[in-house]
Structure formats: C-alpha cells, structure tokens
C-alpha cells in the first residue's frame, strides 16, 4: 500500500527513473539476491516501505514471522544500500513502535521510554532496530561517506492498496470488509474485538506518500535541524483521533450497513490511545489534505470498483 502510494506521488512529481520490484521478482529476506539487485541497479534514493504487516490477530498468531521477516528485510535493504553507495534513504517505522502508555500526543523522544504493546511487540522490536540501524550508519558513515538515512514514524494508514484479508487486515479495511459482507448477507449484527474505547489516529496513504517525498527532498541541513543523531525520526500524523467505536459507526454508515454493532470485551482492546505529535513536519511545511470521512468513502469506492465486493465467505 505505502510503496504504491509513494510511486504514484513520485510519478506525479515528475520522477521518471523509478525502480521497483514485486515480491515475486525479489525476495527481500534473501541477502544474496538483495545484494545482486543493488549492485546491478545502483539507485540514488531508496524508500524502505516493504514490511510484513497486519492487525492484532495477525501479530498475535505469527510473532516469529513478524520479527524475522522485518529484521531480514530492513537489514538487507539498509546494508546493501550503503554498500552500493546510496546516499539518501527513507525508512518507514510505525506509531506502534512507541510505548503502550506513552504520554499523548506522542513526541519523537518517547521511543524506547517504556514497555511496548504486547500484541505487536515482535513487529515493533524489529522496526525499532531498523531505525537504530539507520541512525548507526549515519553516525559512522555520515561524515566519511555522505550517508543521509532518514526515518519517519507514520500513524495508522488506510486507503488505496490496503489489505482486506479476513483475519490479517488492519482495523479500517477489516471493518469495511466485515460491514460490507454483513450488508450483502443481511446479517443482523457485527461483532468487533474489544470495547471500542481506544482512540486511534488515521492518515490517508496518499498523504503519507506526499510527506515521504517531501522529507526525502529536503536539503540535508533543513531536515537535520529538526532531529537529533539518536532521535532521528519524524512523526507523520493527521493531527486528530477517533475512537474505534465511532470509527465503526462511521464505516457502517458509509457502507450502508443498518444492523446492530456489538463489542466483544473478552477480546484484546489494545493500546488506549495513539496520537502523534506531528509538529516537526508541520513546521517544515507539510500538512494532510484528506479528512477521515472523505478518505473512507474513497477507500470503499475502490473496494467496490476492484471487485472486492464479491467476497462471499472467502478472504481476499
């Protein structure tokens, strides 16, 4: 989802020589194949958007896969970027890397200041390692080799290219899929994990793409005036949040589901609140353009237009 959005924005910005590979074309967990790719292509800029991601259920069921695959992907991409002479790289983290009980809104320096949310700790540990790897390469090779590896911490994302899998999706596509199926199957109720109280911030993925290209294109002295050598990431958020309960009712309304919505309090609720302090990137001149209701309507229209409406009882 994120990689596709970045490519779209690069194209709209006039970039021509954009190098991409599908998962089928290049296994990013294979160090030898990644090394061969970088030595052959010699890219100037690298956006590290690839990751194994999923919602609460996927993180709970596949913790070993989440920590191994993400560590392998980022290690291979960052190290081989350096070996191939790449000067500029942008690494994407996630707001779930912050401590579960971080003060709100979350500032960049809150990273590693407390315990993580247990349900996604393996993923978070892996992605934190990626940020620290970028910082370490900057510290060791910034002066001598001109290395300038930047990190961003996006809030929860949604929009074109999202994963609508029955079990492994994030909250917005997961709810959208379930409410759509409930509508077409005329189900009287939809059951949602947790009590609906957690507050979440959501950003349309094309807004994130704009932010990533904006930050990558900033002159070195301007970017580094807003960060520190060992707190080098910048938050990217919408600036407002919504409860999971209110989000569910909003999505149900957009989908047109008129049944009852119930909350299963025996299931994990997750972190109480995750709202990012995005003052640094706003001070640099970026701000989001797509509000939540508009973004959700766009996402549902894409869901319908791509044939995902005919899901039956099968996962996408």
Residue 176 · residue 164 · CB < 8 Å: yes
Sheet with 148-154, side-by-side order of all strands: 45-48, 88-92, 148-154, 233-236
Q: Which of 98, 123, 149, 158 is an active site residue?
A: 123
Read off the tokens for 308.
Answer: 């995902």
Residue with tokens 């029955």: 166
Query: Whole-angstrom Cα distance, residue 258 to residue 39?
Result: 56
Q: Is the dihedral of CA 27, 161, 291, 55 positive or negative?
A: negative
Give the β-pairing of 273-274 and 199-200: parallel
123 has catalytic annotation: yes
Query: Whole-angstrom Cα distance, residue 180 to residue 186?
Result: 10
Query: Whole-angstrom Cα distance, residue 212 to residue 1?
Result: 14
Task: Supply the residues annotated as catalytic.
Answer: 123
């Amino acid at each position: 989802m994120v990689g596709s959005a970045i490519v779209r924005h690069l194209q709209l910005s006039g970039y021509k020589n954009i190098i991409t590979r599908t998962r089928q074309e290049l296994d990013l967990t294979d160090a030898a194949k990644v090394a061969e790719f970088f030595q052959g292509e010699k890219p100037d800029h690298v956006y590290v958007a690839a990751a194994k991601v999923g919602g609460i259920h996927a993180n709970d069921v596949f913790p070993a896969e989440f920590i191994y695959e993400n560590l392998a992907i980022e290690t291979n991409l960052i190290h081989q970027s350096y070996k191939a002479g790449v000067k500029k790289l942008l690494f994407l983290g996630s707001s779930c890397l912050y401590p579960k009980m971080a003060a709100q809104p979350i500032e960049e320096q809150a990273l590693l200041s407390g315990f993580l949310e247990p349900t996604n700790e393996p993923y978070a540990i892996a992605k934190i390692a990626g940020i620290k790897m970028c910082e370490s390469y900057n510290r060791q090779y910034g002066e001598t080799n001109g290395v300038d590896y930047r990190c961003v911490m996006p809030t929860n994302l949604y929009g074109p290219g999202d994963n609508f899998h029955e079990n492994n999706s994030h909250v917005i596509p997961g709810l959208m899929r379930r409410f759509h199926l409930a509508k077409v199957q005329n189900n009287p109720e939809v059951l949602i994990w947790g009590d609906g109280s957690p507050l979440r911030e959501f950003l349309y993925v094309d807004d994130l793409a704009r932010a990533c290209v904006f930050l990558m294109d900033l002159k070195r002295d301007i970017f580094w005036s807003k960060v520190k050598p060992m707190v080098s990431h910048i938050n990217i958020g919408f600036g407002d949040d919504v409860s999971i309960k209110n989000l569910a009712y909003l999505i149900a309304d957009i989908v047109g589901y008129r049944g009852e919505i119930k909350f299963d309090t025996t299931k994990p609720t997750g972190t109480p609140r995750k709202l990012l302090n995005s003052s640094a990137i706003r001070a640099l001149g970026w701000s989001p353009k797509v509000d939540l209701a508009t973004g959700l309507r766009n996402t549902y229209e894409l869901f319908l237009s791509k044939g995902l409406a005919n899901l039956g009882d099968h996962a996408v």
